Chains A and B, each alone.
Chain A
């Protein structure tokens, strides 16, 4: 608590006095009424936020929960007056401060909004990887808002910067302050961004998906930090997230948003335990949960050693130094079953998946698929027929200028099927298999939704009739409702075609739902491996336990009726 006290005492002298006075009177900080926002592009108006009202009390956390396109980020952007081009507030008020002298944020012009941004409202952005100016030092970025608002002189700013960095848990602030963003990890960058956001002790902190780009263990630490700072600064947090579990764990009250409209609003506990609205219910049931393990059908026993990974090691070499991304991993996988590779970023799970799919030869050890050694078969075209990959980002892995039909049929062309009509016929067959309507074949990838694109990617992988699919974070970028649909599609396909899956994911809840067996990877090492239920119910390695305990869970219900 030591640095916390210095942080307060040192800075309070320069904070505006009205702020301190007002905090003692009332509890309402932000009152939003009938907020509507529309985007206009090419003369067409689209309603993004539709008559949203809510109140945020001082010291409280309100989570705005919704899937992509629900308008949750638009609400945040309209509050700080930074809507993207084409966005317009069409109605509503948003009063910040005490009723007596509250400012309507939506009425302010850019000029009068600037003193409020950074000083009274702090923003913690979504993606730490590109939210810091890459050519400025970290310390510079933290001090920037103090310089913009002309706080203190150079020396006090530097001292304050170091204090802030230390407060958010950056080791060796002196050295770190002089480093550049690319020298920091994602979690450290998010800490830096938090330090920058709280530099002027704002009364309102808008956290826009602050942890969706981070690993679960890092996510937990960052969320804890935001919670602590909220208490210390008596600030209110408007927490924007797609993740119901995170919202449930961290927020006092929830606002469930769907297609711009409020579906449900109220105390977090109430909404989670007794949802009233159908959409909220669907959201809750679709969210993969650790509490209710799904029932897996028994693994077929046609070929218990269909995939054998034995002592696999993969080293990346750069110049004289080499780095082992995967160290001595072994597991066996039966035909028709799913093995999950779980780990945080940098754990080597993607490298392992690519080695199994034969994209690179292992440095040591071996992989056999259906009794064939991958290292020797991987350059043969027949092997490609057997093993296919599906990536996380379907938009990046689909050629934007090809129609869906061409994309799905393309692998056939590489295998000598020259006839366009034949390729199209087989593409349509696969599209039907992944439950896409026939007319999708003539669309372009950008005309499809994220879930539809992922279906296309799966159809393309299936067109060669492979036995093994390596799914690399294949559902991670999708909203929960879409995610649930793709997961059940994958299960159906597995049964229909007797497919074997290597399922790479950082999301333990999803893994528990789909995988029969699991390997937990940490820094390239296989720390634990076995049947999913065993690993989840009685984890042996401390890293697995840390991963499991980092998963957000709703707060304990206070003892009640």
Chain B
């Protein structure tokens, strides 16, 4: 068991290193850089010698491998560098933005899970055939709704027309409602789709008719027999969907004017703020890797058939 966890952690570190390296070189070789973006504007009236001086002061004139080495050792020792745009330290910027985004993504994820399960249960176990048909059509519909469009529609309807959620002066909780709803819908869709098909699949297995022949009710069947078997594929998808959450945060934070990692990403991209981008990519990769590690460790908990393999 522990050797399995250690092996997986080793793989995770490798993934992080690759993500770091790929980001670094991609950003480095893209045309234009953060110094030009910040100081290159003719309105600032800086001469090219002065710009080169600024470049030298932040080490941007050094050979690429030296820069890579400095950035890597910096990351390893916890020094994420300074934003070219604002001059603030990247770690303090992340620390300020992280809690809001964490709250947003977590709420969205929980909402997505609730939504997905509601759709899945209704479309498989509801006694009404018409309701089963209607809910079965929801996942394909949901997955084709773009987040930015949904976000705008939600603001339009709930804030401006119905006035249910204030746009200005909202409490922290109120401010969470619409953005997390916007993110959760497209995340719930694939999750619900997978759940529906795996519940269908489990229900067609012979052991289900054996349980029914014992006199089980539909509820008994769903909660005590079908669900435990149907969760595994959904869990895999849930881990992979985490990437969607981050993408969703970029869009919704911008549209709803929330501060957070998503907003920070949007601005850093606009300004070619490389130290910030580098840190955000590594942070997202780390979270993604961690979540999927947890998912992998959950498999044997849910399915006894996988326990032996893990132990071996």
Residues of A within 8 A of B (CB): 80, 82, 114-119, 121-123, 125-127, 130-136, 144-145, 148-149, 180, 182, 193, 196, 319
Contact between chains at A144 and B211 (CB < 8 Å)? yes
CA distance A82 to B211 in the complex (A): 11
Given A134-B303, A135-B304, are A117 and B214 also a contact pair (CB < 8 Å)?
yes
Which residues in A have their C-beta under 8 angstroms from that of B312? Answer: 319
Shortest Cβ distance from residue A148 to the other chain B in the assembled complex, whole angstroms: 5
Most buried by A among B211, B225, B303: B211
Shortest CB-to-CB span from B242 to chain A, Å, is 25
CB pair B220 A131 closer than 8 Å: no
Cross-chain contact B214 with A118 (CB below 8 angstroms): yes
The CA-CA distance from A80 to B216 in the complex, in Å, is 12
- Alpha-carbon separation in the docked complex, A469 to B206 (Å): 35
Q: Which residues of A contact B229 (CB under 8 A)?
A: 133-135
* A135-B302 CB under 8 A given contacts A126-B206, A130-B205: yes
Q: Is the CB of A125 within 8 A of B206?
A: yes
How far apart are A120's CB and chain B's nearest CB, in angstroms? 9
Neighbouring B residues of A119 by C-beta, 8 Å: 215
Cα–Cα distance between A115 and B217 once the two chains are bound (Å): 10
Contact A131 B215 (CB under 8 A): no
- Given the complex, which residues of B lie within 8 Å of A319, measured CB to CB? 312
Query: Given A134-B303, A134-B305, are A145 and B214 also a contact pair (CB < 8 Å)?
Result: yes
CB-defined contacts of B287 to chain A, threshold 8 Å: none
Is there contact, CB below 8 Å, between A135 and B215? no
Q: Give Cα A148 to B218, complex, Å.
A: 12
By DSSP majority rule, is chain B's interface helix, strand, loop, or mixed? helix
Contact partner of A127 (CB less than 8 A), chosen from B206, B212, B217, is B206
Interface presence of B213 (CB below 8 A):
yes
Mark B204-233 against chain A: 1 for CB-CB distance below 8 A, else 0.
Answer: 011101111111110010001100110000
B213-A80 in contact (CB<8A): yes
B214 with A196: CB separation less than 8 A: yes
Which chain A residue shows the least CB distance to B303? A135
A-B contacts, 30 listed (Cβ < 8 Å):
A82-B209, A82-B212, A114-B216, A114-B217, A118-B214, A118-B216, A123-B210, A123-B213, A123-B214, A125-B206, A125-B209, A126-B206, A130-B205, A131-B207, A131-B210, A132-B207, A134-B305, A135-B304, A136-B225, A144-B214, A145-B214, A148-B214, A148-B215, A148-B217, A148-B220, A180-B305, A182-B304, A182-B305, A193-B210, A196-B210
Does A116 lie within 8 Å of B209, measured CB to CB? Answer: no
Bound-state CA distance A80–B225 (Å) is 20
The distance from the CB of B58 to the nearest CB of chain A, in whole angstroms, is: 53
- The A-B contact count (CB < 8 A) is 75
Q: Is the CB of B206 within 8 A of A117?
A: no
Enumerate B256-307 residues with CB–CB distance to A below 8 Å.
302-305
Q: Which residue of A lies closest to B312 (CB)?
A: A319
Tell me the interface secondary structure of chain A in the complex: loop
Give the complex CA separation of A180 and B215 in angstroms.
22
A132 to B209, CA, bound (A): 10
Smallest CB separation, B6 vs chain A (Å):
18
User: Roughly how many angstroms separate A131 CA and B229 CA in the complex, as a whole number?
Assistant: 13
Q: Is there an interface contact between A117 and B213, defined as CB atoms closer than 8 Å? A: yes
| Chain A residues within 8 Å of B303, by CB | 134-135
The 8 Å CB contact of A117, one of B205, B215, B224, B305, is B215
Report the separation of the CA atoms of residues A135 and B229 in the bound assembly, to the nearest whole angstrom. Answer: 7
| Residue with the highest number of chain B CB atoms closer than 10 Å, among A115, A148, A149 | A148
Q: Which 6 A-B pairs have the closest CB atoms?
A: A118-B215, A118-B214, A123-B213, A145-B214, A117-B215, A180-B304
Please name all residues of chain B whose beta carbon is closer than 8 Å to the beta carbon of A121 when the two chains form the complex.
213
CB distance from A86 to the nearest CB of B (A): 13
A115 to chain B: which residues have CB within 8 Å? 215
Min Cβ gap B299→A in Å is: 11
Cα separation A182 to B229 with both chains bound (whole Å): 14
Asked whether, in the complex, the Cβ of A145 is within 8 Å of the Cβ of B206, the reply is no
Given contacts A80-B213, A117-B213, A196-B214, contact A130 B207 (CB under 8 A): yes
Please name the residue on chain B nearest to A193 by beta carbon.
B210
Give min CB distance, A535 to chain B, whole Å. 37
Q: Using Cβ atoms and an 8 Å threshold, which residues of chain A touch B305?
A: 134-135, 180, 182
Q: Check if B206 sits within 8 Å of A130, measured CB to CB.
A: yes
Chain B 66-100, CB-CB to A under 8 Å as 1, else 0, gives 00000000000000000000000000000000000
Q: Please tell me which one of the listed residues A82, A130, A132, A133 contacts residue B213 in the complex, with CB atoms under 8 A apart.
A: A82
Within the complex, what minimum Cβ distance (angstroms) separates B295 from chain A? 17
B293 CB to closest chain A CB (Å) equals 22
Residues of A within 8 A of B217 (CB): 114, 148
* Shortest Cβ distance from B232 into A: residue: A135
**Interchain CB contact under 8 A, B228 and A136:** yes
The complex places the Cα of A117 from the Cα of B209 at a distance, in Å, of 11
